[in-house]
Structure 1
Amino acid sequence: MIIQEITDDFQQPLRDRRVLLSMELLAASTLESNDRARFVMAVSALEPLAQQAPLGDEVDRFVERALADLRADGALPLHLRASLEGRLRQLRTESVRQALSRLCAKWFPGDRTARDTIDHVYALRSEILHEGRVSDLDTLLGVETLKVRQYLRRIYEQEFARAFRVGTTV
């Protein structure tokens, strides 16, 4: 059975390098030394899958107006203006969090729990990265990591159009 699984896997074409990176990050998460690092790495495996879509012509026009206003403002130091310009340009596309929410409709049609869970774990990851910890100290990161792994597994099964035979573990 193991040889057949390996043979089947090598016969699968890699359609998207983002999926491979996601799988590598998820695999790397298992090597982390504590629950917090495992969780952050597992949730980070979602990011390569979140292809950010443009927000459209109206947003582009708004950004162009804001950029013109910024360039016309001589009071701001050059280094600050350059930083703000880069951040304004990013407004043309949806955020990673928005992209994940949108893609949940594709990955998990009709499953509102999946979208809510992925949004929740992404928010927890942001808390950890920006605050150093989650605000709710009763959060069990091992349990949250398992949820992420299970959703990623479902995504990978869709990407490879096959069911995996071995379950997930934390």
Structure 2
Amino acid sequence: MPNNHLSKTRYEIADKPKLRPYGSKVDIILGGNNQFGFDGESCLILGNELIVRLIPRQNKKFEFQKFTAYLEGFATASEAEEAGLKFAMSVLWAAVSLRCPLRLEYHTPLPCVVYDRTPHGGIVMSSDSTFSFTSGASLVVEVLEQSFTSNIPINNKRLLVSMELFAAARLEATERARFVGLVSALEPLAEQKKFEYPDLKQIVKDTLNKVQNSLDLPDDIKRSLEGSIRNLTRESVSHAIKRLITTHLTEDKIALEILEEAYTIRSKILHEGAFYPDLQDKSYKIEDVIRRLYSAIVGYELRFPAITYTNND
């Protein structure tokens, strides 16, 4: 039985652009294996009425595949922006869930761009337009549909940045760059708590006074020390990440060990230029911890399950 509401919405979007003059676009870079399974131009329908056109962009010099997703037909620019943000978040979740290397490509404050669809402002889709849709992309569409129609908060900027770093890390050319990118993806999620202990506040205040009243310390050293001393009232990033892991992965006792080892290795790579011959295996372990963390945060199971490690691994 035809969906009359969907038909009406699609007709308005295609043939009456002035009723829905705004669109939103998201540029996507995929790894070379095209794990999303889209072949040429494709058309998706999400949330019963949202039309998304996926248009490949040709670039012979670029080793990865590029697509632009056009979200069609919104009455206001704010609606278009909201849909674009949610679609970007959904694409990132699909990359995490399906273990697909992916990068959002943008040079604007947001990963989506709102545009004018009217004849003088942009591209208008005809109601006669046809697009191919490959069967291999069905799982991707299912994951996109699930997350796009969910209550995943699009205003969670920390989660968006974290998932961006994580998905893009797998596109890095070297194992060290990939490992550093994966571990760094945890930091945006680490909300540092402020310590509210009266004794600590007094210690910090007294220490600041000593530094400021010092006659031997140069002014630039004083300013540097003052910043470090004030930060003593907040927990460290590493401690905040540990708290994050123990909060969301309460039953996983090995995850914290993997995390601590990963942070030690990252520090040695960044500060000493260290090289580890088994870095690929360590990348897989921290990647699985982070994927399970995202799954716990968004409330959906991974379609490609992560490995839960034991002390024997």
Structure 2-normalised TM-score?
Answer: 0.50
Q: Which runs of 4+ in 1 moved over 6 A?
A: none
Aligned to 1:133: 274
Aligned to 1:122: 263
Aligned to 1:10: 148
Percent of aligned positions that are identical: 35
Which structure 2 segments of 5+ residues have no match?
1-138, 307-313
Rg larger for: 2
Q: What CA distance in whole angstroms lies between the structure 2 residues aligned with 1:43 and 1:2?
A: 26
Aligned to 2:228: 87
Are positions 1:64 and 2:202 aligned together? Answer: no
Contact 2:248 2:297 (C-alpha < 8 Å) held by counterparts: no
Displacement of 1:41: 0.4
Equivalent in 239, 246, 259 of residue 105 of structure 1: 246
SS at match of 2:233: coil
Aligned to 2:299: 161
Q: What CA distance in whole angstroms lies between the structure 1 residues aligned with 2:295 and 2:303?
A: 10
Contact 2:245 2:293 (C-alpha < 8 Å) held by counterparts: no
One-letter code aligned to 2:195: L
1:99-129 CA-to-partner distances (Å, cap 9, x unmatched) read 1222222122143211111111011111111
Residue pairs, 1:1-80, within 5 angstroms: 1-12=139-150, 13-14=152-153, 16-57=156-197, 58-80=199-221
Q: Which has the higher contact order (CA 8 A, sep 6+)?
A: 1
Equivalent pairs, count? 166
SS at match of 1:91: helix
Which structure 1 segments of 5+ residues have no match?
none
Structure 1-normalised TM-score?
Answer: 0.89
Aligned-residue CA RMSD (Å): 1.8
Greater shift in the superposed pair: 113-122 or 99-108: 99-108
Q: What CA distance in whole angstroms lies between the structure 1 residues aligned with 2:216 and 2:283?
A: 47
Contact 2:249 2:296 (C-alpha < 8 Å) held by counterparts: no
Contact 1:100 1:119 (C-alpha < 8 Å) held by counterparts: no
